[in-house]
């Protein structure tokens, strides 16, 4: 399973504008809804906020993995966004998040959902990869960096 199966170029956002967690979730959800007509942005925002209430998806090292399951979705969707200023995402290490991988899964896709989260977590453990994402210029350079790292395993 590769991320690129679920991550289209159009869902790579090089310059997120939001400065707070609630606004960032809205920004990601709206981008997802613009890409897929199956996604109702208001429903997705609710799903993401409900998931954050269970515990922050900020995993540390400047990375957050907001995710949730959306009823009626036919396939898994992955998005990526980068915030230059960073957002307090209540991460485990107390540091702001700059790199956001959004994962939206169909309601009945537990296995695929968990495998994809694990895949994202694994590739984000590499400091050189995180640095490359922070330094990349533009959407295509970010997408290429993710494709390359995703292809290593």
Report the CATH number at residue 91.
3.40.930.10
| 1 part of a folded domain | no
Nearest one of 137, 55, 32, 78 to 24, comparing CA atoms: 32
pTM for the model: 0.95
pLDDT at residue 153, rounded to an integer: 64
Give me the active site residues, please.
67
Q: Report the C-alpha dihedral over residues 100, 6, 48, 88, rounded to 10 degrees.
A: 0
| 4 part of a folded domain | no
d(CA 104, CA 43): 11
| 143 part of a folded domain | yes
Quick: pLDDT tens for 137-147. Answer: 999 999 999 99
């Amino acid at each position: 399973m590769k991320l690129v199966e679920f991550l289209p170029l159009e869902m790579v956002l090089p310059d997120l504008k939001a400065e707070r967690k609630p606004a960032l979730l809205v920004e990601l959800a709206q981008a997802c809804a613009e890409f897929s007509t199956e996604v109702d942005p208001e429903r997705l925002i609710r799903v993401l906020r409900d998931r954050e209430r269970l515990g922050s998806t900020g995993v540390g090292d400047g990375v957050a993995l907001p995710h949730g399951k959306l009823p009626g979705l036919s396939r898994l969707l992955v998005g990526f966004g980068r915030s230059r200023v960073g957002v307090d995402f209540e991460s485990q290490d107390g540091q702001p998040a700059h790199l956001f991988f959004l994962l939206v899964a169909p309601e009945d896709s537990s296995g695929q959902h968990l495998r994809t989260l694990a895949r994202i977590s694994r590739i984000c453990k590499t400091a050189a990869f995180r640095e490359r994402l922070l330094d990349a210029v533009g959407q295509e350079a970010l997408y290429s960096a993710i494709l390359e790292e995703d292809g290593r395993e």
